[in-house]
Structure formats: C-alpha cells, structure tokens
Amino acid sequence: MNQKEYEILKTTFLFKGTDEKIVAGCCENGGFETVTYSPADIMQSANTEKSIGIIIKGKAFITSGDDGVVIRKLFPGDVYGAAILFDSPVYLTKVIALSECTVLTVYKSFVENAISLDKKVALNYIEFLSSKIGFLNSKISSYTAKNAESKLMAYLLQLPRENGTVVLKTDYSAIAKAIGIGRASLYRSFEKLEKDGLITKNNKNIIIKEVQK
C-alpha cells in the first residue's frame, strides 16, 4: 500500500466516522490495487471480478449492458460497482473508460474484512446504497414525467448540489439524451423553468430555488 491509496481509502464512504486504525488494519490485508485503463477499455462488466471502483484520474461512463445507452458519466472522486458487489454475477451495466483512467479498485474481500472489523462500515454501506436507490427513483421520475420541463427538473434534482446549486458536468446533448428529449426542447425547458421561478441559470451553474424553500 502506498500513502496515496491509503489517503483515498480513508475518505471513501466506507470509513465515514470510523477510527483511522480500522482503515490501517484493513489496508494491511490488501484486497485493493490501482489500475490504469486506456480509452474504450471495459473497466467493469460481467467478465470482470466484482469490485468497487474509485476514479482517481480521467473520465468514464456507465452504459446499459444490452443497448449501450449511457446512464451516467463518471469523474474523479466518483464511485461505481458498490450496488452490485454482493449481488448475483449478472451485470446489467458496463463501465467504460472515456479517457485514460486511473482507478483505485477495491475488491469484495477488502469490504468484507472492513465490515468484520467495524459494524459502522456496514452502516455506511447501507446508507450509500440507500442514496443510490434515491438516485434511481429520480431517474424513473424523469422517464415517466409528463412533459419536458418535468423531466429536466427531475434530472436536476438528482444531481449533487451545494446550497441548492447544481454544477452541470455534462454537455447539453448528453443531458437531452439522458432524459429522452431533443436539444431544442431542452433549451425551451430551461427557459420555462426560469420563467416559472423554479431555477436560476448562469451558464452551467443552476440554482434550484425549490430546494431552498
């Protein structure tokens, strides 16, 4: 283990609120490695060992396994694989490198050892999965919304935000594709949400006024 790997591991959702001795104890037993992928490499699929990936450098995206539709883009600090670490071997998605990616790969054995050392790790894992369920529910809402504005608002509400402000990390074409509308409809939807007083838009900074009430 190098110091950089240790620093990344101790700041993951797994060890939130735990003693650093727990992190050090887990790291002594291995179960993780840093892996570099080239653009278009498959980082996770049904043919790879189950693991949690933490993006250190580069960009990637998650696609549906059947039709290759992009579900979500990944950036440094993002995590993938946690929801299926203890699931059946059937993968419904693939994670593909969009650029050269450096990933800290944490295997199932590491997580099992961490849980055995501190039950707080298990609680953190459950909390993380609960947040992912909320994300999926919001995605469902965006697909079942009755109009373009509702789809866009549902999409914005599931993005990370601070003090009600969302910073868009993807271009408008990707957003339009994600919620199933055209670019022209997307622009009109932003204008309508602003006109209705639900958001304030400044380039890629979106203040969601509804959240601040």
Residues 36, 124 share a domain: yes
pLDDT tens digits for range 14-72:
999 998 888 888 888 889 999 999 999 999 987 788 899 999 999 999 887 666 777 78
Among 98, 132, 166, the domain-final residue is: 132
Residue 175 counted as domain residue:
yes
Residues 122, 43 share a domain: yes
Here the CATH number for the domain that contains residue 87 is 2.60.120.10
pLDDT tens digits for range 134-168:
666 656 655 566 688 888 888 888 787 777 788 88
Distance CA 192, CA 137 (A): 24
pLDDT tens digits for range 178-192:
888 889 999 999 998
Residue 140 counted as domain residue:
no
The overall pTM is greater than 0.75? no
Q: Reply yes or no on whether the pLDDT at 125 is more than 80.
A: yes
Residues 169, 117 share a domain: no
Residues 199, 96 share a domain: no
Residues 170, 97 share a domain: no
How confident is the model at residue 67, as a pLDDT?
64
Q: Which domain holds residue 18?
A: 3-132
Domain count, the chain: 2
Give a three-class secondary structure readout of the chain: CCHHHHHHHHCCHHHCCCCHHHHHHHHHCCCEEEEEECCCCEEECCCCCCEEEEEEECCEEEEECCCCCEEEEECCCCEECHHHCCCCCCCCEEEEECCCEEEEEEEHHHHHHHHHHCHHHHHHHHHHHHHHHHHHHHHHHHHHCCCHHHHHHHHHHCCCCECCEEECCCCHHHHHHHHCCCHHHHHHHHHHHHHCCCEEEECCEEEEHHHHC
Residue 59 counted as domain residue:
yes
Among 14-18, 90-94, 99-103, 195-199, the range scoring the smallest mean pLDDT is 90-94
Residue 137 counted as domain residue:
no
Residues 105, 27 share a domain: yes
How confident is the model at residue 83, as a pLDDT?
84
Residues 120, 63 share a domain: yes
